[in-house]
Amino acid sequence: MINSIITLVVTVLFTISAFAQNPGDNFIPKDPKFDNLLTSENTVLLVIDFQEEMLGVVKNMDRDILINNTQAIIKTAQIFDIPIIESTIGVGLGANKPTIPELKNLMKEVKNIDRITLNAWQNKEVISAVEKTGRKKLIITGLWTSGCPTYTALDAIKAGYEVYVLTDVMGDATTDAHNRAIDRMVQAGAIPFTWEGVGAEILRVYTNPNAMKSDKFEGGFVGIMKEHFYPFAGKY
C-alpha cells in the first residue's frame, strides 16, 4: 500500500514537472497574490520554539520524524521564496537553548525573535515581522502544540489571518494533548494541513520552475520529497 502511494506521488510530481514545460491550452493562470490557495506570494511560515527543552518532552511523534518534517517545510518555504519567521522562548533569560542546530543550520539568514511570552502573538516583533510580509495566509509550526502554537493561532485568526496548522510539524507531551490542541485550533477556524500538502499546493502553480530543480536545494521540491517524505511514509 505504501509503495503504491509513493509511486502515485512520484508520478504526479513528474507529470506536474512535464506540464510546467508545456502547460498547453487548458492551463488557466491565477494571480498568486490573491489566489484562494497557498502560493509563493501569499504565504508566510512561522517556526516556533524548536528548542531542546521542548523537543525533549515530545512523545506523540518520534523525534527524528518531527525534525525531518520541520526540515522539510523549511526547505519547501525556501525554494518557493516564502518568508520564514523564527521565534524562540527564554533564550535571553538563560532558561532555554536556541533553536536546535538541525534546523538553525537551514535558517542561518533568518533572524530569530526571542520571547518571554508563551504566546508569540503577544510579542510586538513577531507580529510586526508577519505584518511586514503583507501576506495573510499564515502557516504555523511549533512546540508544544497545546501551548504557543495554539495561543498564536487563536490570536492570529482573531487578527484576520487565514491560519494553517501543520499537524505533522507540531508535537506535545501526549497524543491527547496534541490532538485536543489541534481540535481547539480547528474549531476556532484554523486549517489543519501537512508539510507535503503545503508544498504540493504551492507547486500546482504549474509554471513554477522549482519542481525538479532549485538553486537552493538540488532536485527542487521533488528532491525534498525524495529525501524527507518517501522514507517516512506510513511511519506516523
What is the DSSP code string of 166-200? Answer: EEEEEE-SSHHHHHHHHHHHHHTT-EEE-HHHHHH
CB 2 within 8 A of CB 234: yes
CA contacts within 13 A on the Cβ side of 168: 20
Q: Which of 81, 136, 142 is nearest to 113 (CA)?
A: 142
Contacts of 60 (CB under 8 A, 6+ apart): 145, 171, 172, 173, 174, 175, 177, 178
By annotation, the residues acting in catalysis are 148
